[in-house]
Amino acid sequence: MILSSTRMGVLISAIAMGLVSVPSFLHAEEKFFNGSLSNEYKFRATSDVKDHDLESTLSLNIGDPIRDRFSGALQGGGIFDLNGKQDDFSLSGIYDTFPKSTVGRLYYAYMNAKKIKPIESLRVGRQYLYALDALYFDGTSVETMPYYGITLGGYGGIPVHQFESEIGIDPGDWVAGGYLQWNPIAAVRFRFDETHLKDDTSAFRITEGDQEDDLMGTSLWIDLTENFDFYTRFTTFSDQVRDVEAATSFRNSDKDFSIRLRGYRLLEGYDIRVIEWDAYGIAGTYEPFSQISLSVNKGLGKKFMVDGGVDYRFLDDEQIASAFNHGYERVYLSGSSHDFLVKNLALNTTFDYYHGEDSTLKNNSTGFSFFASQKLFKKRLEMDGGTAYYLYRYNLLYGDESVNVQTYFGNVEGKIVKSLKAKVGYEYENNDLEDFQTVETSLIWEF
């Protein structure tokens, strides 16, 4: 991969700082670093079309981010299309949009520093950050130590868009933002966020040209009692409001019981935004909707658990349903067990009922999912398998979706020697468009 000189300088400097600084702060008995190297082969087939891919990934951790003042992490690799591009696009994915059959990837590369007054934490390099929404960028993020209950945070850099180019960047893009958090008392937390993003192209909306947006939001958390809490959030763009949500939950550890209620409202429809806030733009305008969700979880002794819930999502206008944007009712009930009859055996069964609430799908649909996992030989070998049901599955490249999808899968994972393990997995997908088969094999060296 070829990075810009500025970008490469930041990343190399960050890693070098860690290599020089970390050892003196690590515990003597700890390893200087640890990580893994994996090679995964994937074979996919449908009808007469076949696809062969290989992905190699190196993950490296420097120090312990919990205990050590300085630490770091790196993950990168390559994806290789072994049989080249094909005329049939039924198995095409996002990586097929690149002109080469080999695509290099740098997923993250950063160094952390913490507890350096007045800084609570500092991160430099390629990183993920959640601030109102998920952000992925090359740059710096920092948070101060609390002062009279007030904490300040800031971040800035160049957004990473892994599928716009091989190195994931466009020099014309930039992101900057910050937040203020206030804890007036231990049970109350208030936060205000603002983020500015500039994107020379908006994902698949390249013809739209440059996009620039500001997203702001306020959040409030209240621990009403030891077991009962409340959360609410409101976000808005600089030119239109976006959404509001509220949630409350109750937990009783003695009874192994919890219940959560959440409400969400998309206030106005939107589509063309910077890529981070336009995840559904390929499917058209994301239209206003409301959603209410209730979930209940109850343990039954030490080996059993049952959970269930209801989701009710409805569009303001059911005639404007599109991919990613549906109205429906969902009722589900799930039961699970651990170490029942056989040690290290885990089981889970889920029943789903859906009723469409828009112009696209109004039929009743039911689905069944089952999962079983067994560990053997002192957990050196693990086997799992089952079936899973999805009302909708999406193809992000083409913006289409499948309905009433049932998959069947099985996996085997085992240690060959102490630091070397292998995985083999198979999945069969049956949907309303076509059937797909996938075989994956992996060899993983942990060090």
pLDDT for res 327: 86
pLDDT for res 336: 97
Three-state SS sequence of 144-175: ECCECCEEEEEEEEEECCCCCCCCCCCCCCEE
Averaged confidence pLDDT in the chain:
86
CB neighbours of residue 125 within 10 Å: 27
Give domain status of residue 302, yes or no: yes
**CA-to-CA separations, 329 to 44, 153, 314, 332, 363, in angstroms, rounded:** 33, 40, 8, 10, 11
d(CA 167, CA 34): 25
Question: What is the rounded average pLDDT of the residues 270-285?
Answer: 74
d(CA 212, CA 159): 12
Give domain status of residue 223, yes or no: no
Regarding predicted confidence, which is higher, 86 or 248? Answer: 248
Domain that holds residue 371: 280-447
Q: How confident is the model at residue 233 (pLDDT cuts 50, 70, 90)?
A: very high
pLDDT for res 49: 83
Q: How confident is the model at residue 282 (pLDDT cuts 50, 70, 90)?
A: low
Give domain status of residue 441, yes or no: yes
pLDDT for res 25: 44
d(CA 354, CA 335): 19
pLDDT surpasses 70 at 363? yes
Give domain status of residue 39, yes or no: no
pLDDT surpasses 50 at 14? no
Give domain status of residue 65, yes or no: no
Give domain status of residue 181, yes or no: no
Q: How confident is the model at residue 5 (pLDDT cuts 50, 70, 90)?
A: very low
Regarding predicted confidence, which is higher, 405 or 296? Answer: 296
Give domain status of residue 337, yes or no: yes
* 62-93 burial: b if 16+ Cβ within 10 Å, else e: bbeeeebebbbbbbbbebbbeeeeeeeeebbe
Does pTM surpass 0.95? no
Regarding predicted confidence, which is higher, 318 or 70? Answer: 70
CB neighbours of residue 215 within 10 Å: 22
pLDDT for res 362: 67
pLDDT for res 90: 61
d(CA 288, CA 323): 14
pLDDT for res 204: 53
Give domain status of residue 436, yes or no: yes
Which tens digits make up the pLDDT trace of 243-260? 999 999 999 999 999 999
Does residue 114 contact residue 144 with C-beta atoms inside 8 Å? no
Tokens 């007469």, residue located: 48
User: Total domain count for the chain?
Assistant: 1
